[in-house]
Structure 1
Amino acid sequence: MAWAYLLIASVFEVVFALGTNATHGFTELGPSLLTAGAAAGGIFFLSLALKSLDVGVGYTVWTGIGSVGTVILGSALFHEAVTPAKVLAFLLIIGGVLGLKLSDRLTAPSAA
């Protein structure tokens, strides 16, 4: 369940980051409320995930998924450029996230 909570937290993280862009310095009420709610939701679900995940793994995966999701949606919604260097960096982040998930699975105590 921790990984599901982490995925939900990551979605909130993406909404938070994209919403921050729409607040125009927190001068727009609707986007500001959405952004604050997304920040709270992300932290709440991250805290649930960290009940059983190592903080280093959980936080790193949360920020990694949030970063990649923000760049992908930022390019789609705000027409931000996606360069080959950015694509390479995304692939490295995704590889790191997958490696952390695998390492968590390998080090988790088995139920006997």
Structure 2
Amino acid sequence: MENLENEDRFMIYNVAGKSIMVEAKLGEEFDFICSKKECGERLELHGVIKVVTPQEYRKVLKETLNEHEEFQVIETLNPIPLIFEGTVNGEKVKLPAETVQNLARRFVRNFLDL
């Protein structure tokens, strides 16, 4: 597993049907607010991004894909099992996440065919 303690930007998927980039430290609680102007609706996130077991990650990923098929592309996520666990607008959630660095690598690999 790569060195995650230096990561400070993560993508969280299926935040009210959206992909949201947040600045946070792995394993540390954070708050993030996305305005209605930026996200189409006000989104308030509170929680933590953490490494989980592969089994828990697959369960969270499956629930996300069942809820929103358009997130199928995240099935190609790097195998580091990261999730956001916390609340979105007060509702408890567990959502798939990845580092922005891994997102960039995945984009290059899958879409630019490099």
TM-score bin, normalised by smaller chain: under 0.3
TM-score w.r.t. length of structure 1: 0.26
Flag the structure with larger Rg. 1
TM-score w.r.t. length of structure 2: 0.26
